Every structure is written in structure tokens, then in C-alpha cells.
């Protein structure tokens, strides 16, 4: 090769190298991103809300007659049996049993006896309904073991039997309460004999523990003044309030995880009832919300560490499925009327419109637009656009 041609070749190579260097220098820098992988796994959907425990059957013991309360012999936490004397009142006698007062007390006693009789009939009906529900439960279990009954129908039979059992317990408690009111009314009628009359004994309407003492010291009291609260702390329930828009997805029998109750791990429970009426609550941000109370029955161990009025957080499981294609919720963003994300293909961000399904705590189901194994960008910044080069740290 002659010298002029050699110089020309060298100049051409230098120009090509310079052009390549210039193109490399002018190429946009890659945007650093955080990546996640779309997976096919279990997806659990919950609705959450705060709540408090409470004793299921609570009894408020009140003064049956006006008079002077003697100092109580029981304190908060003491165990009592049905019929135990929990308070004594020396009845006042401003005008002992004049005709009008005696007639009023007799009417009160008659009404109390009528209420006791009605409670007794309700108890008999509850016993009969409970027996029928238990028989239906046994038949359903037998059919389910033989494969002749769907799991849903077995669950309905189990729930019905449990509800009838709760109704029976409440009917028994109502009978005890009515009996106590009858005894109190009879005592009020017998206590009007003047200053020499014996103190009126106030008895516990049911077995349990003293939850709160409302009037401990000796003092004069009007009739109906609250004295103490009784209940069985071993029979707890949780009352959880949920947004009404979320409570419509909850039904009896739904499993519940109880968190932030003060101990390790989560406690288990099931929804017994979603109350039919909502109430208005102002959030911490000053926004009015419509909320609904959901009653939760304890399931399994751990609840014995809680007492009446303890705070907790509850997560009601409304959906629990395996094999769901999902991505982190932080990968999604709104696009027009739908959702979108950035997937990574050959080192570049690719905008994809997706159709979403159920949403869990940290992941969202993808019905269309992403396949398991696809790499997606989490927390996309405003520097991203379709086709932009990206790199993961």
C-alpha cells in the first residue's frame, strides 16, 4: 500500500473510532431501578380493623331498693357463684308501704315473675332448637364422611349448630337474670317494714367474676344505682370495627387472625356475626367513615392471656388461594382508567397495561399482562418511560 493510501486508511479508522466514542458519550445513562419477579404463589386477601375484647355475657348488678349500701365484701377479680350475696342494703323507710307504694311493688313483682316465665319458655324453645341443630350437624358430618355432602353445606350445618348453642347459653343467662330480678322485687316488697327491717341482700344473677366494682364504700343510694359488673373472663369475644365498604365482603364463619394483642404470634378466631347497622366514626385525619362492628369468637389457645377491654388488631380473611400470578403492589401505578407497570426486557423498561384481580397486603393478583418469571420494576420513578435503559444495582 502506498503512503498516501495508508494515511487515508488511518484517518478513516480514526474518524470511525471518534464517531463511536461520541455516540457512546451521548447515549443516555441507564436509570437505576429495583426489580422484583412475578410469581405464582398463595395470595391471601384480608380486611383489617381495630377492636377490643369483651366478656360475652355481662351482668350489671344494681340496687333493687333505695337505702344505705353496706361496704361490699367482694372486689374486682373475685369469683362468685349464682345466688351468692354480693351486696347488702339497709332500705330506707320514709313512709313504709303505704297503699300506693305497696301496689307499685306488687306490680313490679308480678312483672318480674312474668318476665321469668317468658324467659323459661324461651329457654325451652332454645333447648329444642339446639337439639335439632345438633342432630342436623351429626347427619351432615355422616354425609360428608361418605362424600355425599358438599363442604359448604357441612360448614353451614356446623355454623347453625354453634349459633343454636350460643342462643341456648344466652337463654339460660336470661332465665338467671329474670330469676334474680324476681328475687330482688320480692325483697323490695318485704323490705318496707320500717327501720327495723333486715338489710336487703343483693345476689349474683350468674356465676363468674367481678369485673368492676362501681360503688365500693358505704353510702346512700337510690333504687337502680349500679353496684358492680359480673361476667366470665374465660368467655371472651372480640368486637372489631371495619369500614362498611369492606364489611360487605365478610360473612359468619370467616377465619380471623388477631395481631398486636401484646403476645407473640397471631391468635385465631372466626366471625360469628356482622352487625346489621353501621355507625359514623371520625378517623385520625378528621374524615368521617361509616364503620360496622364484627363479632369474633376465639379459636385455639392464647386467648386466656386477654381480659375484658383489651385492645387488638384483627385481619378477617376473605380470600385465600394458591397458584395466583402476582406482583408486588409497589410495582403498579394508575394509567388512564386502569393499571400498568414496567417490565424489563433486554435491559430496557417496557410499559405494560395489566388487568388486576384480588389485592393482598403486599401483592396484587395479575389476571392479564404479566406471566410468572417476568421481571418488573418496583417503585418506578418519573425518569422511566417505555424503552428507557435500566440497570439494577
Give yes or no: residues 90 and 113 share one domain. yes
In a domain, 149, yes or no: yes
C-alpha cell at 293: 362492628
Alpha-helical regions (H) of the chain: 3-26, 99-145, 151-190, 244-247
Q: What is the pLDDT of residue 379?
A: 93
Residues 310, 172 share a domain: no
Q: What is the pLDDT of residues 154-166, one digit of tens each?
A: 888 888 888 888 8
* Grid coordinates given for 30: 441507564
267: domain CATH number is 2.40.30.170
Average pLDDT (292-318) is: 93
pLDDT band at 310 (very low <50, low <70, confident <90, very high): very high
Q: C-alpha angle with apex 159: 255 to 273, nearest 5 degrees?
A: 60
Q: What is the pLDDT of residue 225?
A: 92
- Domain identity same for 79 and 209: yes
CATH code of the domain in which 384 resides: 2.40.420.20
Confidence band, pLDDT 50/70/90 cuts, at residue 23: very low
pLDDT at 92: 74
Same domain, 75 and 208: yes
Q: What does the pLDDT read at residue 24?
A: 42
Same-domain status, 90 and 146: yes
- Residue 173, domain member (yes or no): yes
| Domain range for 334 | 31-42+322-391
Q: Measure the CA–CA gap between 211 and 229, rounded to whole angstroms.
A: 5
Angle between helices 99-145 and 151-190 (to 10 degrees): 160
Q: Which of 275, 301, 321 is the last residue of a domain?
A: 321
Domain shared by 135 and 201, yes or no: yes
pLDDT at 22 over 50: no
Residue 211 counted as domain residue:
yes
Residues 226 and 200: their CA atoms lie apart, in Å, by 15
Boundary of a domain, candidates 215, 247, 272? 215
Residue 348: predicted pLDDT: 93
Domain count for the chain, please give it. Answer: 3
In a domain, 195, yes or no: yes
- At 374 the pLDDT is 95
Report the run of H or E that residue 55 belongs to, with start and end.
strand 39-55
pLDDT (0 to 100) of residue 185:
79
Kindly state whether residues 158 and 208 are assigned to the same domain.
yes
DSSP per position, 61-93: EE-SSSEEEPPPS--TT-EE-TT-EEEEEEE--
**pLDDT (average), residues 3-32:** 57
Instruction: Mark whether 333 and 373 lie in a shared domain.
Output: yes
Q: Is 39 helix (H, G, I), strand (E, B) or coil?
A: strand
Cα separation, 87 vs 228, in Å, equals 9
102 pLDDT more than 80: no
Please indicate, yes or no, if residue 15 is contained in any of the structural domains: no
Question: Do residues 197 and 71 both lie within one domain?
Answer: yes
> pLDDT category, 101, cuts 50, 70, 90?
confident
Q: Is the whole model's pTM more than 0.85, yes or no?
A: no
Q: Are 112 and 189 in contact (CB under 8 A)?
A: no
Closest CA to 297 of 262, 242, 253: 253
Which is nearest to 318 in space by CA: 43, 42, 47, 41? 47
**Do 185 and 88 reside in the same domain of the chain?**
yes
What CA–CA distance (Å, rounded) separates 319 from 250? 10
Quote the mean pLDDT of the chain: 86
Is the pLDDT at 242 greater than 60? The verdict is yes
Flag whether 226 is in a domain: no
Alpha carbon separation from 317 to 43, 45, 47, 253, 302 (Å, rounded): 11, 6, 7, 10, 19
Asked whether residue 335 falls in the same domain as residue 377, the answer is yes
Q: Which of 262, 294, 321 is the last residue of a domain?
A: 321
Q: What's residue 115's pLDDT?
A: 86
Give the residue-averaged pLDDT of 43-48: 93
The predicted structure's pLDDT at residue 47: 94
- Residues 6+ positions from 80 with CB-CB distance below 8 Å: 74, 86, 204, 207, 208, 209, 210, 230
Q: Is residue 187 in a domain?
A: yes
Within this chain, do residues 71 and 165 fall inside the same structural domain, yes or no? yes
Q: Is residue 59 part of a domain?
A: no
- Going from the C-alpha of 346 to that of each of 32, 351, 387, the distances in angstroms are 15, 13, 10
311-361, pLDDT tens digit by residue?
A: 999 999 999 999 999 999 999 999 988 999 999 998 999 999 999 999 988
Amino acid at each position: 500500500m502506498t503512503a498516501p493510501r495508508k494515511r487515508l486508511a488511518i484517518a478513516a479508522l480514526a474518524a470511525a473510532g471518534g464517531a463511536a466514542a461520541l455516540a457512546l458519550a451521548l447515549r443516555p445513562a441507564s436509570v437505576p431501578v429495583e426489580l422484583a419477579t412475578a410469581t405464582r404463589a398463595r395470595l391471601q386477601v384480608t380486611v383489617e380493623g381495630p377492636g377490643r375484647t369483651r366478656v360475652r355475657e355481662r351482668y350489671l348488678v344494681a340496687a333493687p331498693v333505695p337505702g344505705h349500701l353496706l361496704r361490699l365484701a367482694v372486689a374486682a377479680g373475685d369469683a362468685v357463684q349464682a345466688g351468692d350475696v354480693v351486696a347488702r342494703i339497709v332500705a330506707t323507710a320514709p313512709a313504709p308501704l303505704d297503699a300506693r307504694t305497696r301496689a307499685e311493688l306488687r306490680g313490679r313483682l308480678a312483672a318480674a315473675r312474668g318476665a321469668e316465665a317468658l324467659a323459661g319458655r324461651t329457654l325451652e324453645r332454645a333447648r329444642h332448637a339446639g337439639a335439632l341443630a345438633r342432630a342436623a350437624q351429626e347427619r351432615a358430618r355422616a354425609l360428608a364422611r361418605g362424600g355425599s355432602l358438599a363442604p359448604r353445606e357441612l360448614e353451614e350445618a356446623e355454623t347453625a349448630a354453634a349459633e343454636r348453642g350460643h342462643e341456648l347459653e344466652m337463654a339460660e343467662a336470661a332465665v338467671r337474670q329474670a330469676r334474680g330480678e324476681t328475687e330482688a322485687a320480692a325483697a323490695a316488697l318485704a323490705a318496707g317494714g320500717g327501720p327495723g327491717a333486715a338489710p336487703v341482700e343483693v345476689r349474683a344473677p350468674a356465676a363468674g367474676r367481678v369485673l368492676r366494682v362501681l360503688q365500693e364504700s358505704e353510702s346512700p343510694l337510690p333504687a337502680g344505682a349500679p353496684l358492680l359488673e359480673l361476667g366470665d373472663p374465660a368467655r371472651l369475644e372480640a368486637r372489631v370495627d371495619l369500614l362498611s365498604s369492606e364489611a360487605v365482603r365478610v360473612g359468619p364463619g370467616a377465619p380471623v387472625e388477631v395481631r398486636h394483642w401484646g403476645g407473640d404470634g397471631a391468635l385465631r378466631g372466626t366471625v360469628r356475626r356482622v352487625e346489621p347497622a353501621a355507625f359514623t366514626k371520625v378517623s385520625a385525619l378528621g374524615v368521617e367513615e361509616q364503620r360496622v362492628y364484627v363479632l369474633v369468637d376465639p379459636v385455639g389457645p392464647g386467648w386466656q392471656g386477654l381480659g375484658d377491654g383489651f385492645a387488638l388488631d384483627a385481619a378477617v380473611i376473605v380470600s385465600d388461594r394458591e397458584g395466583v400470578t402476582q406482583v408486588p403492589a409497589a410495582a403498579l401505578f394508575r394509567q388512564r382508567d386502569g393499571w400498568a407497570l414496567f417490565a424489563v426486557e433486554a435491559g430496557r423498561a417496557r410499559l405494560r397495561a395489566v388487568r388486576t384481580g384480588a389485592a393482598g397486603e403486599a401483592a396484587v393478583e395479575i389476571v392479564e399482562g404479566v406471566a410468572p418469571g417476568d421481571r418488573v420494576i418496583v417503585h418506578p420513578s418519573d425518569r422511566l418511560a417505555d424503552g428507557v435503559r435500566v440497570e439494577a444495582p
